């Protein structure tokens, strides 16, 4: 706590507005009398300036409300301009127009004493600049579009409440929020920047108005956001200090790769390729995240980046979360690269120890240009001759130890991460100055939305769906997520649709058998694949355009969305059937409804997939931040992170 240094008779407190943020503190001293005069005749000054003096009659609760309304933030303890705190009859304020905080002591409804605290700022310009940025970020991060009664909102000073309605009292419109113990808060329209929509992993606890608990929670979250900002800035600084030779362009090789791509690039893909080319032409290593819905062409962008690295005499590696995915990428890349003098290898548990050792030796000697593998690539015995680029497919699927390895690798290596989990716009804004992010949101040309049907488990529908697919020489997935009884499911289907050839895959099979079954399915020796959620990870078979899910009530929304994304990979109309048992709980019903609402293309980015977004946020920020996100909501957390980054940057710059 700051202690009073000098007593004073009066204090002027200017509101947090763009107009006042442009003015230096000297301007307020010079124009003090004119400002006091303007308060009597002009509504702007009346609404945005407080004049307080000793012995003045003033209800302390009215002052707290007015400080809130002129944009000041309530905190546990003031430390910078634009903040206020209260303890009993003492209110501390750090005016925007002062280099020092002040203390107001009340005796009942009278200001008994005004004193200056020994809490001060050294650099007025930097502080004003940070406040401007904070004002801007509050507006950006509030996310109040499409607000409905019953939605959870976070008020910067009072915590989490329930939005009830917008109403007019007198001539002023207000947002009405309900808090614990039936308390109500009325927030004037125009002060939206103090509100943010609550997005979290759990249903939040409702705050009590006037309780210190929220200020403590906020202080803790702010400290954690600062720590993360420091960590991110350190990684960023290390990357800017690590230098490597810029990659060269080889038009001939790039043109050959582009020529073997069978689709037309989307505008987002073209932009992402340009972003990567720009990153790779700089002397600092690249660290870019490609975020895009399932089937929107992230792998193609990665392939082109890997070939660019190889053309510059470097090796490229692609890390995949599963053997199935590694094998699929390997087969696709091998096919695309067959016309080029580029050696590509696969390293996973599919090979014998002897084969693995041979590939590891070739990597060391520089005889392999491109390697695709599972976490086996991160083993201590794997060394590269000249690794330039690491592509990480679905980074969030890797464990803590593997992520630690990424952190060590990151500062010296070019890293391209791919994620099919969309990230919220607010997180994108908070990270955009630290980590380069490319969003792939436009679907490929002629791609049709997947027709989605949600219904009770129904034999006739299953038979009809499979028969219709066979009639057009297509294939289907039947998702059955119980390994114990999967053979019984096969018998049931063989009796129901004797015209079809069925095969089974699940996670407990030997990987060699698994790849063989998949290979047979890919080569159309079978036409219905009965599978567990093992197919969730990136299978890309354009001839499979029907998926039937035996019990969708067991799936989370993001998982169901990913699984549906296994089909609809071409211009052919595809169909997804999500069946559920006779009894369905409320949450499962809601999830399935959201799935129906998001059958459009790129809908992974729409509001109904908020649980996807929050997962995306958790994946990027790390598990240790989840608790803070839950307590204050993702939007406020991202705002704090953004503010912390700006503040730390300003401190570094001025020092």
Three-class SS of 53-91 = ECCCECCHHHHHHHHHHCCCEECCCCCCCCEEEEECCEE
- Classify residue 110 by burial, with Cβ atoms within 10 Å: 0-12, 13-18, 19+: middle
289 versus 239: the higher-pLDDT residue is 289
Task: Report residue 141's pLDDT band, with 50, 70 and 90 as the boundaries.
Answer: confident
Tens-digit pLDDT profile for residues 522-575: 999 999 999 998 887 767 788 999 999 999 888 877 778 778 888 887 788 999
Closest CA relative to residue 231, chosen from 654, 644, 651, 653: 644
* Euclidean distance between CA atoms 210 and 474, whole angstroms: 63
Pairing state between β 4-8 and 152-155:
unpaired
Q: Are 105 and 111 in contact (CB under 8 A)?
A: yes
* Euclidean distance between CA atoms 430 and 141, whole angstroms: 9
Tens-digit pLDDT profile for residues 304-348: 999 999 999 999 999 998 888 898 899 999 999 998 999 999 998
* Euclidean distance between CA atoms 559 and 565, whole angstroms: 10
Provide the percentage of residues in the chain whose pLDDT is more than 70.
92
Task: Report residue 213's pLDDT band, with 50, 70 and 90 as the boundaries.
Answer: very high
Q: Are 213 and 207 in contact (CB under 8 A)?
A: yes
Q: Is the pLDDT of residue 609 over 60?
A: no
Q: Are 41 and 153 in contact (CB under 8 A)?
A: no
Closest CA relative to residue 45, chosen from 53, 35, 54: 35
Q: Is the pTM of this model over 0.75?
A: no
Domains along the chain with CATH numbers: 4-121 (3.30.2060.10), 133-235+626-654 (2.40.10.170), 242-440 (3.40.50.300), 451-600 (3.40.50.300)
Which pLDDT score, from 0 to 100, does residue 240 have?
Answer: 75
User: CA angle, corner 508, sides to 504 and 514, nearest 5?
Assistant: 50
Closest CA relative to residue 134, chosen from 652, 654, 653, 638: 638
Which pLDDT score, from 0 to 100, does residue 397 have?
Answer: 72
* Euclidean distance between CA atoms 264 and 256, whole angstroms: 15
Task: Report residue 608's pLDDT band, with 50, 70 and 90 as the boundaries.
Answer: very low
* Euclidean distance between CA atoms 204 and 181, whole angstroms: 15
Three-class SS of 84-109 = EEEECCEEEEECCCCCEEEEEEEECC
Tens-digit pLDDT profile for residues 147-165: 889 989 999 999 999 999 9
* Euclidean distance between CA atoms 90 and 69, whole angstroms: 19
Quick one: CA dihedral 396, 402, 403, 405, positive or negative?
negative
Lowest mean pLDDT among 202-206, 523-527, 593-597: 593-597
Q: Are 305 and 276 in contact (CB under 8 A)?
A: yes
Lowest mean pLDDT among 59-63, 83-87, 252-256: 252-256
Q: Are 638 and 138 in contact (CB under 8 A)?
A: no
Residue 307 has what DSSP assignment? H
Q: Which residues pair with 414 in a beta bridge?
A: 389
Closest CA relative to residue 199, chosen from 149, 144, 157: 144
Tens-digit pLDDT profile for residues 345-391: 999 888 889 999 999 999 999 999 999 999 889 888 998 999 999 99
Residue 1 has what DSSP assignment? -
* Euclidean distance between CA atoms 440 and 222, whole angstroms: 31
Alpha helical stretches, state H, 385-523: 400-410, 425-431, 459-471, 486-496, 511-522
């Amino acid at each position: 706590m700051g202690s009073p240094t000098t007593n004073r008779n009066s204090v002027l407190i200017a509101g947090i507005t763009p107009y006042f943020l442009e003015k230096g503190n000297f301007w307020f001293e010079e124009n003090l009398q004119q400002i006091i005069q303007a308060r009597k005749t002009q509504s702007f000054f009346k609404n945005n300036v407080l004049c307080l003096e000793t012995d003045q009659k003033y209800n302390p609760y009215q002052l707290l409300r007015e400080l809130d309304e002129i944009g000041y933030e309530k905190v546990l303890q003031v430390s910078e301009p634009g903040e206020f705190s209260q303890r009993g009859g003492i209110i501390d304020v750090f005016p925007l127009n002062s280099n020092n905080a002040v203390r107001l002591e009340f005796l009942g409804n009278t200001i008994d004493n005004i004193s200056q605290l020994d809490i001060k700022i050294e650099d007025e310009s930097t502080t004003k600049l940070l406040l401007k940025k904070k004002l801007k970020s509050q507006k950006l991060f509030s996310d109040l579009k499409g607000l409905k009664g019953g939605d959870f909102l976070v008020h910067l000073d009072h915590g989490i409440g329930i939005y009830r309605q917008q109403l007019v009292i007198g001539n002023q419109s207000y947002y009405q929020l309900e808090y614990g113990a039936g308390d109500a808060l009325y927030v004037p329209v125009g002060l939206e920047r103090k509100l943010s929509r609550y997005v979290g992993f759990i249903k939040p606890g409702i705050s009590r108005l006037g309780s210190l608990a929220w200020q403590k929670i906020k202080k803790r979250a702010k400290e954690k956001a600062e720590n993360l900002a420091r960590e991110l800035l350190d990684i960023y600084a290390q990357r800017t200090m690590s230098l490597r030779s810029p990659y060269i362009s080889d038009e001939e090789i790039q043109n050959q790769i582009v020529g073997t791509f069978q689709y037309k690039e989307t505008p987002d893909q073209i932009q992402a390729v340009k972003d990567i080319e720009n990153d790779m032409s700089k002397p600092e290593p690249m660290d870019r995240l490609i975020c895009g819905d399932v089937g929107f062409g992230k792998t193609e962008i990665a392939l082109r980046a890997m070939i660019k690295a190889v053309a510059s005499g470097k090796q490229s590696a692609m890390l995949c979360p599963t053997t199935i995915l590694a094998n699929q990428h390997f087969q696709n890349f091998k096919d695309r690269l067959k016309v080029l003098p580029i050696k590509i290898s696969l390293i996973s548990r599919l090979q014998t120890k002897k084969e693995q050792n041979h590939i590891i030796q070739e990597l060391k000697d520089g005889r392999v240009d491109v390697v695709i593998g599972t976490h086996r690539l991160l083993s201590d015995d794997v060394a590269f001759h000249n690794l330039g680029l690491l592509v990480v497919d679905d980074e969030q699927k890797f464990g803590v130890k593997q992520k630690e390895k990424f952190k060590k690798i990151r500062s010296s290596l070019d890293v391209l991460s791919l994620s099919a989990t969309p990230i919220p716009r607010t997180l994108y804004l908070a990270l955009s100055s630290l980590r380069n992010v490319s969003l792939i949101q436009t679907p490929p040309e002629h791609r049709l939305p997947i027709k989605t049907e949600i219904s009770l488990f129904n034999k006739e529908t299953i038979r009809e769906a499979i028969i219709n697919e066979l009639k057009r020489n297509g294939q289907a997935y039947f998702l059955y997520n119980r390994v114990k009884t999967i053979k019984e499911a096969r018998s049931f289907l063989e009796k129901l649709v004797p015209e079809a050839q069925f095969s089974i895959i699940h996670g407990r099979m030997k990987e060699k058998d698994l790849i063989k079954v998949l290979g047979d399915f890919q080569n159309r020796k079978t036409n219905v694949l009965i599978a567990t959620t093992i197919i969730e990870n990136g299978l890309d078979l354009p001839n499979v355009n029907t998926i039937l899910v035996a019990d969708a009530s067991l799936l989370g929304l993001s998982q169901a969305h990913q699984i549906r994304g296994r089909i609809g990979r071409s211009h052919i109309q595809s169909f997804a059937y999500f069946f559920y048992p006779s009894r369905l709980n409320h949450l499962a019903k809601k999830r399935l409804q959201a799935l129906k609402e998001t059958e459009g293309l790129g809908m992974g980015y729409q509001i109904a997939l908020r649980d996807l977004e929050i997962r995306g946020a958790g994946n990027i920020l790390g598990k240790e931040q989840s608790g803070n996100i839950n307590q204050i909501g993702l939007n406020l957390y991202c705002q704090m992170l953004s503010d912390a980054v700006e503040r730390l940057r300003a401190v570094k710059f001025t020092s």
